[in-house]
Amino acid sequence: MSQLFDRLKSEKPGFVSRLTPLRADVSLENAGLSPEDRRRLQEEVNVVFHCAANVRFDQKLKDAVNLNTLGTRRVLQLCEGMTNLLEKPAPVHPTEIRTSISPYSAVELNTTSALANYATKLANALVVLSCSTAEDGEIEVRISVGSTAEDGEIEVRISVGSLSQVSNLCLLVNNDRELSANHALARSPARQFGHPVAHALARLSALVHVSTAYCHCDREVVQEIVYPGKHDPHKILDTVAWMPDHILEEITPKIVSGQPNTYAFSKNLSEKLVAEYASKIPMGIARPSIVTGTWKEPMPGWVDNLNGPTGIMIGAGKGVIRSMHCKPNYNGDFMPVDITVNTIIAMAWKIANTRPKTPMVVNVTLSGDNPVTFGHVLEVGRKLLYDYPLEYPLWYPGGSMKSNKLLHDVCVLFFHFLPAYFIDFLLMVLGKKPFMVKVQRRIQGGLQMLQYYTTKKFVFLNENLHALKRSMTLEDQSIFYMNVNELDWVSYTKTMLLGTREYCLKEDPSTLPYARIHMRRLVNEKVV
């Protein structure tokens, strides 16, 4: 199991027993699920986070569409049969017990500590006994804890405001700890107050499709809406299904015209598919920007792949990336993965409570919040690489960003490929297998795909992100933190570097003293 779960294993040792892994693959028919597993999911699942995707920029069109677009359609078809997504139960927001209720601000409903303690000994057997209107217009709700109303174990009377303002009272029993009573605004009829909680319980019911902020690169400003596209996703799916591969590869540039690569194109198509199901399933589309390592949770700096900034940091730290085609004064939209995950979870809560008829689209981006330029990140990273060097670099960290493409190409020739050929020549003389030229070719291929994003300005509007945050209680804003304005880029870049070193490269922190000695030798050789 990944190091990502080390803290969870320490704090909740038995959490694995609460998980049920199922064999599935969205690239296969029926998402690779057995009939029994499919039935179980459709009967029991309340929330779906669709994150499965191939994020490679250089994949063939057929591969990208089959996994990212056709895979999305298979997930949507699976969700069509999920009764908890299609039904409309009263909404609930599970959280800690509060001390007061206000129908105007939608804060949590208070219950007594005695009721909370007693609920841990009982099964899920709460019943709303009655809902009556007093002379002063307030609504009084009587709640009984016990297997039936006649048990008379504990009864709580709660007065709330007008039913037109608070039309549903929902209760959630958490057998692990306590009873949490909640309320939410809804359009459901008032008679649902008389339902047993087992039936009136508001299960979170939402599908959140994880897209990318860069699937609309053909637009100067990306708003939080589903855009109409020039391609019908169903026709594209049909085309890649029957067309021979060699012909499809020939016409791929024309098909994806306007998009930088097949990944962005396939994610663009997927959003249109998702929108088609919005009238049937409460759903949202999350569009993260450049997702980077964790900021805080579950541990700072966790990352497990070489994508994007992580790969560049490693290449620069090892001394094999000396030049990059980039506009240093352009902003880089970096989003820590823990903020991204918190936003996606909060979206599911919001969608379940509002059940929108059109997809709730959220650009999980910095936009104008706490902006940072590529050049600033480079300078900070370069200094940090001398203080916290990677193990066994081939050359000291150096080089720069080049806004001029011709100058960049010249630097690549002299500082990337010529040293690579020289090292390979020495390896062959020593009777060893050469590899540096092959490594540099892979690096250049990756940098060429990234330079589209580092030489173009992107504007992402994110008002829905701010509105989502404002709709959360202060406590939930603290737990599911989404405020990037609190992020210090120097401190976070250091966190990213140390996390890349430990979690991605598996370089133990205890090796830092020796790595610093090795780095000083390289720097001294440079000076000499």
Q: Which of 357, 414, 444 is nearest to 58 (CA)?
A: 444
- CB of 93 within 8 A of CB of 353? yes
Q: Which of 96, 57, 81 is nearest to 265 (CA)?
A: 57
Where in the chain are all domains bearing CATH 3.40.50.720?
3-86+206-308+329-364
What contacts 105, CB < 8 A, 6 or more positions away?
none
Q: Is 370 left (phi over 0), alpha (psi -120 to 50) or beta?
A: left
Q: In what side-by-side order are the strands of the sheet with 360-364? A: 47-50, 206-210, 283-288, 360-364
What's the whole-model pTM score? Answer: 0.77
Paired residues of 170 in beta bridges? 182
Count other C-beta atoms under 10 Å from residue 405's C-beta. Answer: 11
The CATH number fitting domain 3-86+206-308+329-364, selected from 3.50.50.60, 3.40.50.10490, 3.40.140.10, 3.40.50.720: 3.40.50.720
| Separation CA 168–CA 37 (nearest Å) | 33
Q: Is the peptide bond before 298 cis (omega within 30 degrees of 0)?
A: yes
Per-residue pLDDT of the chain (528 residues; tens, 9 = 90+): 778 888 999 999 888 889 999 999 999 999 999 999 999 999 889 899 999 999 888 899 999 999 999 999 999 999 988 888 775 544 333 434 344 444 433 333 443 333 344 344 433 444 444 444 444 444 454 544 444 444 444 444 444 443 333 333 333 333 333 333 333 323 333 333 333 222 322 344 899 999 999 999 889 899 999 998 889 999 999 999 999 999 999 999 999 988 999 999 999 999 999 999 988 899 999 999 999 999 999 999 999 888 889 999 999 999 999 999 999 999 999 999 999 999 999 999 999 888 888 999 999 999 789 999 999 999 999 999 999 999 999 998 988 999 999 999 999 999 999 999 999 999 999 999 999 999 999 999 999 999 999 999 999 999 999 999 999 999 999 999 999 999 999 999 999 999 999 999 999 999 999 999 999 988 876 654
